[in-house]
A and B are shown apart, each in its own frame.
Chain A
Amino acid sequence: MASISLSKSEKSYIQTSLLSTPPLRGDGRSLLDYRTIALETGIAPLANGSARLNIGKPTHEGGGGTEVLGAVKLEVEDVENGDGVDGGRIVCSVSCSPAAYPHLSSNALDDLSYDMTTLLNQTLSHPSLHPPNLCILPKKKSWCLNLDVIVLSDSGNVYDALFMAARAALWDTKVPITRAVEYQAKRGGKNPQENTDVDMDTETEQQSGFDTRHISRAVDFELPDYWDEGETLAGQDLWPVCVTLNIMPPTYYLDATPQEEASTPLRLLLAMSFPKSASSRLQATRLLGPGEIELSQIKRLIQEGEKHGRELYSALEAKLREEDVRRNQKARDKFVLR
């Protein structure tokens, strides 16, 4: 992780304060307090779903805080001839703005972007999270979901921000509704070259009554309503949230500032998913930093992390629902009142 450089005495100062009784942090928070998180969805109207998230932006001064922008764009892919996978696929990418890491060279910035991309991609494109409505025509055409995340500024705890922005953007995504279309040659000899569009549902008389196979002859699709944004992406409750536990033996703390991150040798990232109908799942873990920890501690930390993850998850979900209401219902009400 790209951390700013601190002197040894400053690091020792921060570590001693965190381990003291009561634990002290630079901005007066407790060990388990998060900074204020601001979230807005629908910030990129050209995208199918988007969100902008900011952790720790002080309200009266403006500026600062970890700011992350995420957007989802859907592309149609050909399964037979192109890169498409039957049932659709998810591709994530993270790009760090040089304004977020002004002290890094462009190569180091690329490396950092690549690390974050790998983490996000491997976690979110896992089959257990795959949404079922990314297929257009089975074995012919499917959606490719491109999730692009941009880190605009980093003031600590960027991994939590990445996953929250990804979850918010995916929550906000609407998949256009498609209808399969089949071409059929016009029967009755006169103009054998003409083709007409026929809906999938109509039966053709050439099929034999004994033939019980249902072979789809759909070759293309259409949008029944061009202006409809579509249905929401399925699996909204599956997308994971990430909790970063900064490990300072014998305790840990959450939501570190850049100075605290530079003073903590070890961090545990936990990406957890809390589906409604099943028990919570751990989707990804990472141990970052040069420090070390005993194996027996990991289990305890994962359990503690799950508690915090659940709180974060329910808070995020409440906000996302509120955003849905603000953008759809309230906007409609305002429009009616005009």
Chain B
Amino acid sequence: MVRQMVVESVYCKILNDGGFRSDGRRQYELRDINIDLGQQGSADGSASVSHGLTQVLVSVFGPREAKMRSQTIHDRANINVEVAVAPFSTGERRRRGRGDKRILEFASTIKSTFEPVIQTALYPRSQIDIFVQILQQDGGVLQACINATTLALASAGIPLLDFVCAVTGGVHSTSPLLDLTTLEENDVPHVTVAVMPRTGKVTLVTMETRLHVDRFEDIFRVGCEAGKVIHKEMRAAVKERTRSVGSGGGPDVGDRDVVMEERMEDY
């Protein structure tokens, strides 16, 4: 879409008097979460997660033999995270190469979030590759990447200490908001929190804007609670996937058997 200098007579309120946000949600309401754990390509585990309009695809390979011997660690597995952003993921087309500083920082954030969670001591001298592909951005990209990575690792069967559930939170003049869109992220100071829901431990807190210290505690606590809510969704998705894989491909298998029997009767 071409950005024209059209003067809008109504400006978008972050939180209006009725308690609704610009996309119709309430203050603490999260966006629709869509999780797809179907296999992608030849990956050992993959997950496609979308929070509202933000869509992210993560593929995990490993543990496998490291491509570069120099990167192996003698008593643990090496975690390698690579992030790719689609040029058409934002409103303005922006092509970022793989060596872009922002992207490298993003990848190292994800890596340090998962290093204490993945049980790397079980796989010495091997490598676990996490490939993140960002398909659409509408705020909360880091949260979507972390959630998708957790699910992809679980789907690959890599042992984790716990799920890692991430959520963004912001404060709009004393009212905390959860799960921000791009519009809200541009306007409001926000923080991304990643928690391990069973123990309540936090593996990531990151913020790039300025926030008053008094407000921080509120939004931090609310973010941790929201992480537990996302955990429920993720667990349900993993259970569903395990059930369908465990029963040997689901209802279609039954159909195939029926077709085979019919064919055999023809003979």
Complex CA distance for A111 and B208, rounded to whole angstroms:
35
A148 interface contact, C-beta 8 A? yes
Complex CA distance for A72 and B6, rounded to whole angstroms:
24
Q: How far is the CB of B55 from chain A (nearest CB, A)?
A: 9
Answer whether A46 and B136 are a contact pair too, CB < 8 Å, given A62-B39, A64-B42, A106-B98: yes
Answer whether A176 and B40 are a contact pair too, CB < 8 Å, given A46-B90, A69-B135: no
The answer to whether A146 and B93 have CB atoms under 8 Å apart is yes
The answer to whether B4 and A67 have CB atoms under 8 Å apart is no
| 8 Å CB contact of B39 from A63, A93, A222, A226 | A63
Q: Which residue of A lies closest to B94 (CB)?
A: A73
Collect the chain B residues with CB atoms within 8 Å of residue A157's CB: none
Within 8 A of B (CB), among A136-178: 146, 148, 150, 152-155, 176
Q: How far is the CB of B184 from chain A (nearest CB, A)?
A: 17
Q: Digit string of B45-83 for contact with A (CB within 8 Å is 1, else 0)?
A: 010000001000101010000011000000000000010
Q: How far is the CB of A90 from chain B (nearest CB, A)?
A: 14
Complex CA distance for A93 and B90, rounded to whole angstroms:
17
Complex CA distance for A105 and B82, rounded to whole angstroms:
12
B179 interface contact, C-beta 8 A? no
Q: Digit string of B1-18 for contact with A (CB within 8 Å is 1, else 0)?
A: 110101000000000000
Answer whether A69 and B1 are a contact pair too, CB < 8 Å, given A62-B38, A99-B131: no
The answer to whether B41 and A153 have CB atoms under 8 Å apart is yes
Q: Which residue of B lies closest to A48 (CB)?
A: B1
Q: How far is the CB of B65 from chain A (nearest CB, A)?
A: 11
25 residue pairs A–B, Cβ–Cβ below 8 Å: A44-B86, A45-B53, A46-B1, A46-B89, A48-B1, A62-B38, A63-B40, A64-B39, A64-B41, A73-B87, A97-B59, A97-B84, A98-B82, A98-B84, A98-B131, A99-B40, A99-B46, A102-B42, A102-B43, A106-B82, A148-B88, A150-B86, A152-B41, A154-B41, A226-B6
The 6 closest A-B pairs by CB, nearest first: A63-B39, A153-B41, A99-B59, A71-B88, A60-B252, A73-B93
B interface vs A, CB < 8 Å? Answer: 1-2, 4, 6, 38-43, 46, 53, 57, 59, 61, 67-68, 82, 84, 86-91, 93, 95, 98, 129, 131, 133, 135-136, 249-250, 252-253, 256
A interface vs B, CB < 8 Å? Answer: 44-48, 50, 59-65, 67, 69, 71-76, 93, 95, 97-100, 102, 105-106, 110, 146, 148, 150, 152-155, 176, 222-223, 226
